[in-house]
Amino acid sequence: MIDRYAVVGHPIAHSKSPAIHSQYAKQTKQQLEYSAIDIEPGNFINDVKTFFDNNGFGLNVTVPYKEEAFNLADQLSPRAQSAGAVNTLKLMADGSIFGDNTDGGGLVKDITVNASQSMQNKRILILGAGGASKGVLLPILEQQPEQIVIANRTAEKAIALAQKFDQKVTGIGLNDLGKIEQPFDIIINATSASLSGQQIDLPTSLLSKECFCYDMMYANELTVFLKWAELHGAKTMDGLGMLVEQAALSFELWREKSPATHIVLEQLRAQLA
Ligand code: NDP
């Protein structure tokens, strides 16, 4: 029987993960099947158990089940523990289930390798304090930035999130960003505002001369945040590479093979266009 892998979520029909992982399997000559499974609310634990009982070896987990996957895993990686969420489950040799979170590693790889933007000693602003923001903080901190500021519409959430990390991380409200005097080297939009095409009102004083602006969302055109950044002379990149890189890290965890991500990224970019 062929080794089975899948992405689970609700809804899941538009997931790009099956296409990405099929390419990775082909490239690395791995015999496996990767599908998309829609799990109805309330069925997560049962459906995941059934999957692993039927030749399933690994799962990617997406909205809305990342916290349930975190609770289901028998062991967790430090980055999953820090994120409080799991996007990758792996069946271990002893039958236990290991939970990891590759979102932050995917983001860091996309920014530091694909975009060649070092994070070391840089001032980094993260917009948003939801699941995506929480998931990337530890991997970004591991890059040894000078400072991280988390700015959120609901200020209390940013402050509470920052307090879980070291003193390099501070939290403020989006409305207070105008009070910050020093500009940032890297600004990452981890809000869901781009999904609805909403503009976040940001002062241009946040942008350093060589500022790099990253939107975790991706689309066939620049997001409103990236349009604003480009208009004010910043370098820009969207989150398609983060998706491709987090998938590669999951694949490596499962199969111990490193796929060439740039080929898949180019294909997806062409499809988006
Ligand atoms: P959550 O729902 O957990 O958090 C949403 C965040 O966005 C909150 O901080 C919320 O602020 C803020 N927000 C929503 N609307 C607005 C607005 N109009 N103005 C200002 N702030 C706003 O979402 P996630 O963290 O899970 O996802 C965030 C984004 O990251 C999404 O676009 C998602 O697609 C993307 N993402 C991309 C990935 C990739 O691989 N490329 C992986 C994971 C996520 P408040 O707390 O005040 O409500």
Which phi and psi angles does 217 have, rounded to 5°?
-80, 155
Pocket of ligand 1 (CB under 6 A): 103, 128-133, 152-154, 157, 190-195, 198, 200, 216-217, 239, 242-243, 246
Looking from the CA of residue 191, the nearest atom of ligand 1 is 7
The rounded average pLDDT for each run of 10 residues, N- to C-terminus, in the chain (273 residues) is 97 96 98 98 98 98 97 98 97 98 98 98 97 96 98 98 94 97 97 92 95 96 96 97 98 98 96 90
Give 130 Cα–ligand 1 centroid separation in angstroms. 6
The β-bridge partners of 4 are: 33, 56
Nearest residue CA, atom 4 of ligand 1? 130
pLDDT at 252: 98
What is the spatial distance between Cα 99 and Cα 97, in angstroms, rounded to a whole number?
7
For residue range 31-61, list pLDDT tens digits in order.
999 999 999 999 999 999 999 999 999 999 9
Active-site residues, by number, are: 66
Cα(63) to centroid(ligand 1), Å: 12
Using the atom order of ligand 1, give the atom closest to the CA of residue 106: 40
C-beta neighbour count of 237 within 10 angstroms: 20
Q: Return the pLDDT at 273.
A: 87
**How far, in Å, from the CA of 210 to the mean position of ligand 1?**
25
Encode 91-124: b = buried (16+ Cβ within 10 Å), e = exposed.
beeeeebbbbbbbbbbbbbbbeebeebebeebbb
Short-list 65, 63, 88, CA closest to 75 = 88
| Cα–ligand 1 centroid distance for 129 (angstroms) | 8
Pairing of strands 32-38, 3-9: parallel
Atom number, ligand 1, closest to the C-alpha of residue 239: 41
Residue nearest to atom 7 of ligand 1 (CA): 191
Instruction: Select from 157, 191, 216, 245 the residue to mutate for testing ligand 1; criterion: most ligand atoms less than 8 Å from CB.
Output: 191
Q: What is the pTM of this model?
A: 0.97
The reported pLDDT for the residue numbered 194 is 87
